[in-house]
Chain A
Amino acid sequence: MRLKLLASILFVLVGAAVANAAGDEAPPWLQQAAKVPVPIYEKDVPAVVLQNEQHVTVNDDGRITTVTTYAVRILLREGRDYARAKEFYENDAGKVKELKAWLIRANGVAKKYGKDETIDAVEDPNDIYNESRFKLIDSSDDADAGSVFGYQSTTEERTVFSQDIWAFQYMLPTLSSRYILTLPQGWAARSVTFNHEAITPAVSGSTYAWELQNLPPIPPEPKSPRITSLAPRIAVSFYSPADKPSSNFKTFSNWAQVSYWLSELHDPQSAPNDLLAEKVRQLTANAHTEIDKLRAIASFVQNIRYIAIAIGVTRGGGMRPRSAAEVFAKSYGDCKDKANLMRTMLKVLNITSYPVGVYSGDPDYVREEWASPNQFNHCIIAIKVSDETQAATIVTHPTLGRLLIFDATDDDTPIGDLPDHEQGSWALVVAGESGSLIRMPVTPVESNLLERKIEASLAVDGSLSATIQENANGQWASGYRSEFRHLSRPDYQKVIEHWIAAGATAAKISKVEPRDDATAGHFNLDIDFVAPLYGQLMQDRLMIFKPAIVSRRETLSLTEAKRKHPVVLTSTAYSETLHLKLPAGFDVDELPDAVKLDASFGSYATNYEVKGGELLFTRKLVQKAGTIPVEQYNTVRSFFEKIRAAEQAPVVLARK
């Protein structure tokens, strides 16, 4: 964080120090692009990409040269941030040979940017070491609505991968987007199209060109699929002639080949040493069942600190773990280091396991039809388990058998559960030639249940005293655990105070008692509080109060009248029971109507019952994981609005 802050200060200062060079001439291609008529978009579209072209030239010695030509017209003042040229490179195997940019202002005056205005920065300042860097020309301070910004870059790199990915757009509308690939004579390319109907390249000799035009904007929407699952992209693989195979590039025709290649990177790194083996024996000394052993090892590996050191990325170094012995000795590592350490520790127990390549952040990102290690950004583990072990995260592989899937990097999600952003995605079990792509498990709704019991008493003056007991499971527990583990105790207390006060103004909390049982996947929280004037007295005759005392810690996000993309829901369930002792001298005058909602994606119900001077209020939500087509948006929106309304409904008491 500190480094990011300092880096941003330097960015600003360099920007401010930029030499003035108005009166330059933009190149003809940019002048031409600036003349392209732009359609009328919705008024919040900040900019439109006029031209986005990447020309990749592959040399058979392993060198790849990429020329990027990009032009964007700024439509709104907020769009100034798009007036930036950014090119990534790997420090050890690549370079940005040239980066030039121009800004054509609304009045036609052009400005040129070159070396003196270029910033060179590390991609992630928080990594201990990372060879990924970028060069940046930032023209956002000079740009304004009506400006056209363009840049041209030439990068060169050496890589072992004979594959590439090209996204035709991101959020901005794009008038022309083109990917050109020039191969050595006799080579061939194949492409797969995602998020769009198949795009056929125009082929001329050994040059291929894929092109899309007039792509509409992709506006951000809550609970939407990720941009990576909406924007059209292609994945391209290229091959040397069969009679002249290239030794400089690695090609993959199927997932088994990818698995085999990754196994070659992983397997040599998983040799246990004596110290590591001794630790395994210590950790599992009291573990009698298979799952107990797995839990003991998993918990240890989760506690290894996440620290990334990325070296040799373009040579596959980004996919090769450090040796398990080294990670064990230093007690830190990244995702693949952790998966490999766990695998090595399990090896000591004669338990077989495999690294698993997965894409973290978008369960729909990885596609079966393109065999490539470049589809993954994260590494987890699949553990071969016997029938004795039962868990919601076990999948059956056609040849490897029952595999328990586990993410050792997520230290809040225990064995038997999986982060929801990985559930349901395609992932590669790396098992030599036996490895294959499989679907990650989706945990059932009932394993992600939050149960809340509230015992409360309302006094004649409207004050409320309440005891809340929460029992969170699955991803609910992971979320609560994360909050508890990552906030200091005083900050955690404040979060709870804010949450209670949002439903019961002026609440005074006397107990906040969290109990985390990560092994079992539970997180319990007990809270005691009093809230003066919770019930509102009216003319000393009526008292009203809301039986939904606390919120569900989530806001209503589906409120817009219109929507463009489907709604993505995760698997979750919630159940609350309130026993509230009514104030002496009052009877219930009116209760809200019970609510019962049923939809394909879930159900919700409330119920009210008065018995023996006590109100029993229940509310229950079940939400199934799934993607709801945009045509059904109104149904989803209405479902959640009705829940909101039901939870605002008051009870009316009247003096006897």
Chain B
Amino acid sequence: MADTRSITVTVNGQPYTRTVETRLTLADFLRHELGLTGTHLGCEHGVCGACTVLVEGRTARSCLMLAVQAAGKSIVTVEGIAPSETELHPLQQAFQDNHGLQCGFCTPGMLTTLLEFLGDNPDPTEAEVREAISGNLCRCTGYQGIVDAALDAAKRMRK
């Protein structure tokens, strides 16, 4: 008999109530239960960072959380970053302008991580940006475009 719980989780401002197996990871809950497939699974052991989401404003690896741990909490995923259907957040725009993504698989985790980072450190050095994303693996870009995007976004967001 599967161990289940009924949980209510707010994701990108919207509450969702579901009954889930207690072993379901938050990542799988978001992707398959809620159909928010923007959060990606690259390793399922907490190293690659592709699954990073914001839990109560703080980044967390959603592959290392159970969905039931998110009950009553507020989550922001990559789908919730843009201010509207037609506009991109300055960070997202900076990624496009600076070629900060290629295959796009690591990108959601990069965005949530940088969103938190730039909130804490609005005027970072390049070294600080690299350290901030040191827990996010990218195999396509060599990070340079991502770093440029972060520095560019920081400038735009400071205006």
Are A and B a genuine interacting pair, yes or no? no
Which residues of B come within 8 Å of A, CB atoms?
Answer: none
Which residues of A come within 8 Å of B, CB atoms?
Answer: none
